[in-house]
């Protein structure tokens, strides 16, 4: 990925997306895919995980990624707003169902995966627990930054396993019902934003193989440990692999 610095990107027009560099960060990958599958060009902008990202804050007011900026419009960071922008810029192929009941279901299930209080929010509490409980003074700054940013607490970490299991059971059940009616997608018979969101976030449980996903070994271990702990059903990864084969590009580029 050929990243521009935030300072460089701030001087440019068009569509610019701040993405976490060097790791298949699920929110960043999902945001990219909304534009990739529609063939919408954008400028990738550098964001570094767990760092202050002063240039990005100076430009957009946000430290984290993704941040999507179109011309002089306000920066977008919310996953639903990013989907809406992609649909506006190019309605084809549609990633949001026209049917209102399916549309509501899609946004609801996406929120269960990537919204505050959803799957990844709670999985992150579990992943952060060793860091937050470490006595290593060299990690104190990171503990303070991440704990504050993501609302970590021992109570949240204790509640997280049941909430993670709840969402994964729900998602697997949706796919099983769809397979029964002959569809490989989460909703209807075609790709939606929900399929792209799950493809991105599934890597935090069972990362794609090294040959197509050359990620940091330490992060791979954390993600794989999460999968071993949560024991997600295989159907979730069969769906992920189908989406990558038919709609996305491998190897991953981050």
Q: How many CB atoms lie within 10 A of CB 136?
A: 9
d(CA 6, CA 11): 9
| pTM (two decimals) | 0.92
- The pLDDT of residue 74 is 97
- The pLDDT of residue 151 is 65
- The pLDDT of residue 129 is 65
- The pLDDT of residue 156 is 80
How far are the Cα atoms of 113, 187, 235 from residue 82, in angstroms, in the given order? 15, 20, 27
Q: How many CB atoms lie within 10 A of CB 214?
A: 15
Structure tokens at 36: 């990739």
Domain 6-89: CATH superfamily, name plus number: Glutaredoxin (3.40.30.10)
Does the structure show a pLDDT above 60 at 140? no
CATH 1.20.1050 spans which residues of the chain?
A: 100-247
Mean pLDDT of the chain: 92
H-type alpha helices, 22-139 = 26-36, 54-60, 79-89, 100-114, 119-132
- The pLDDT of residue 148 is 59
CATH 3.40.30.10 spans which residues of the chain?
A: 6-89
Task: Write the DSSP symbol of residue 1.
Answer: -
Q: pLDDT tens digits for 214-245?
A: 999 999 998 999 999 999 999 999 999 999 99
Does the structure show a pLDDT above 80 at 135? no
- The pLDDT of residue 150 is 66
Q: Which helix H or strand E contains 45, and what residues bound it?
A: strand 43-47
- Average pLDDT, stretch 9-24? 97
Does the structure show a pLDDT above 70 at 146? no
d(CA 68, CA 8): 15
Cβ contacts of residue 29 below 8 Å, gap of 6+?
A: 200, 203, 252, 254
- The pLDDT of residue 145 is 58
Burial class (CB in 10 A: 0-12, 13-18, 19+), 32: buried
Residue 158's pLDDT band, with cuts at 50, 70 and 90, is confident
In the chain, the largest separation of any two C-alpha atoms, in whole Å, equals: 55
User: Range with the lowest mean pLDDT among 44-53, 64-73, 80-89, 120-129?
Assistant: 120-129
CATH class for the region spanning 100-247: mainly alpha
d(CA 57, CA 77): 13
What phi and psi, each to the nearest 5 degrees, are found at residue 93? -70, 145
């Amino acid at each position: 990925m050929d990243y521009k610095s935030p300072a460089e990107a701030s001087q440019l027009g068009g569509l610019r997306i701040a993405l976490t560099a060097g790791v298949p960060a699920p929110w960043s990958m999902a945001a990219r895919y909304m534009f990739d599958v529609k063939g919408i060009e954008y400028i990738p902008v550098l964001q570094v995980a767990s760092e202050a990202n002063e240039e990005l804050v100076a430009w957009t007011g946000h430290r984290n990624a993704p941040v999507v900026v179109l011309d002089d419009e306000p920066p977008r960071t919310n996953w639903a707003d990013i989907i809406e922008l992609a649909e506006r810029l190019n309605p084809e192929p549609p990633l949001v169902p026209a049917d209102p009941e399916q549309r509501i279901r899609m946004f609801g299930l996406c929120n269960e995966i990537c919204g505050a209080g959803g799957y990844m929010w709670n999985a992150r509490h579990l992943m952060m627990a060793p860091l937050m409980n470490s006595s290593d003074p060299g990690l104190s700054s990171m503990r303070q930054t991440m704990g504050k940013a993501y609302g970590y607490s021992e109570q949240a970490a204790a509640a997280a396993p049941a909430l993670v299991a709840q969402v994964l059971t729900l998602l697997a059940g949706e796919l099983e019902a769809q397979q029964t009616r002959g569809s490989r997608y989460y909703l209807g018979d075609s790709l939606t934003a929900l399929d792209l969101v799950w493809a991105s976030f599934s890597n935090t449980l069972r990362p794609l193989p090294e040959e197509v996903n050359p990620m940091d070994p330490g992060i791979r271990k954390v993600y794989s440990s999460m999968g071993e702990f949560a024991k997600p059903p295989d159907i979730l990864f069969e769906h992920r692999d189908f989406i990558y084969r038919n709609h996305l590009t491998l190897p991953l580029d981050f």
